[in-house]
Amino acid sequence: MKLLLVIFLVHAIFIPCFSFDVPGKDLPLTLDYYKSTCPTAFDVIKKEMECIVKEDPRNAAIVIRLHFHDCFVQGCDASVLLDETETLQGEKKASPNINSLKGYEIVDRIKNIIESECPGVVSCADLLTISARDATILVGGPYWDVPVGRKDSKTASYELATTNLPTPEEGLVSIISKFYYQGLSVEDMVALVGAHTIGKAQCRNFRSRIYGDFRVTSALNPVSETYLTSLRELCPESSGEGDSNVTAMDNVTPNLFDNSIYHTLLRGEGLLNSDQEIYSSMFGIQTRRIVSKYAEDPVAFFEQFSKSMVKMGNILNSKSLVEGEVRRNCRFVNT
């Protein structure tokens, strides 16, 4: 029975990338949605993001991650931005987000400027989607056109935030299933993981990796051993010690959006178990090939990352498109 299960899982992950019915893909997002109502929207967001990333390059990764966590929970509808109230349980305290997800103040800052230019016009969901694209460009990543016209939800889902988002210690089969659930393929998943080339991780999220199979995946390489020693100095083995200490997931070019993260995985030095799994897992026949392709061809990575970000941004909450709103304050539903 166990052998049959392994054969089934390997086959399931090696299947071609089929076409999925992405929620919201036929709904009215357009490139010129704000052409008459707020023609300066894109420029205002770009200008402010330039200042924000200049202040701290890490802000680019923070904004991209915030967008990802939004889209994986009831679509790209800015539900992740809602604060908890007496009548609404938000997503900020869900286990994948609490003490980890940041960037809410960045959104507030941009929203205040947009509201002064075009009150009640540009949704928080669109603002976050555009900001993620601009953040990528500002640290050396690719450009893509951002279709807009999203509405902000009046609800959030703590439950979906807890179950839909991949975790740092998750195995490959489970990660792929979560991407498939969103209508995203294996190729999309490996490309989107590439955003970790500019991210940082907390000790609590990579402790099990550096005290687990890191030496196995890095094949006892002396250079990798030096890197591992530095990671263990930063992150003690005992739970609770240094939990919030952070380090770059790409220790070669941490502030540059490039394909270096895939070289890290080839060396077996992925900081997060969920990242290294896409190259080292026994089930990673297809994902291993894609990692090698992106490591060898940065243009292919950039092209697919752009496509996958558009595809993820098109995961919409159809209910919000009908019943949603443009929040005046991204943290609260309009009253």
Task: Compute CA 146 distance to the chain's CA centroid, rounded to the nearest angstrom.
Answer: 16
Is 250 one of the annotated binding-site residues?
A: yes
- Give the Cα-Cα-Cα angle 16, 21, 27 (nearest 5 degrees): 145
Is 21 one of the annotated binding-site residues?
A: no
Closest by alpha carbon to 214, among 270, 159, 255, 175? 270
**3-state SS assignment for residue 103:** coil
Is 56 one of the annotated binding-site residues?
A: no
Per-residue buried b or exposed e for 85-113, using 16+ beta carbons within 10 Å of the residue's own CB: eeeebbbbebebbeeebebbebbeebbee
**Lookup: tokens for 38:** 């707020």
Is 134 one of the annotated binding-site residues?
A: no
Is 263 one of the annotated binding-site residues?
A: no
Q: Answer positive or negative: Cα dihedral of 93, 97, 102, 106.
A: negative
Known catalytic residues are 69
Is 57 one of the annotated binding-site residues?
A: no
- Measured in degrees and rounded to the nearest 5, phi and psi for residue 280 equal -100, -15
Is 166 one of the annotated binding-site residues?
A: yes
DSSP sequence for 300-313: HHHHHHHHHHHHHH
Is 117 one of the annotated binding-site residues?
A: no
Is 70 one of the annotated binding-site residues?
A: yes
**Lookup: tokens for 208:** 């099990």
Is 126 one of the annotated binding-site residues?
A: no
Task: Compute CA 145 distance to the chain's CA centroid, rounded to the nearest angstrom.
Answer: 18
Is 43 one of the annotated binding-site residues?
A: no
> How far, in Å, CA of 82 to CA of 46, rounded?
23
Is 306 one of the annotated binding-site residues?
A: no
Judged by phi (left if over 0) then psi (alpha if -120 to 50, else beta), residue 151 lies in beta
Residue numbers in the known binding site for heme b are: 196
Residue numbers in the known binding site are: 70, 73, 75, 77, 79, 91, 166, 196-197, 250, 253, 258
Residue numbers in the known binding site for substrate are: 166
Residue numbers in the known binding site for Ca(2+) are: 70, 73, 75, 77, 79, 91, 197, 250, 253, 258
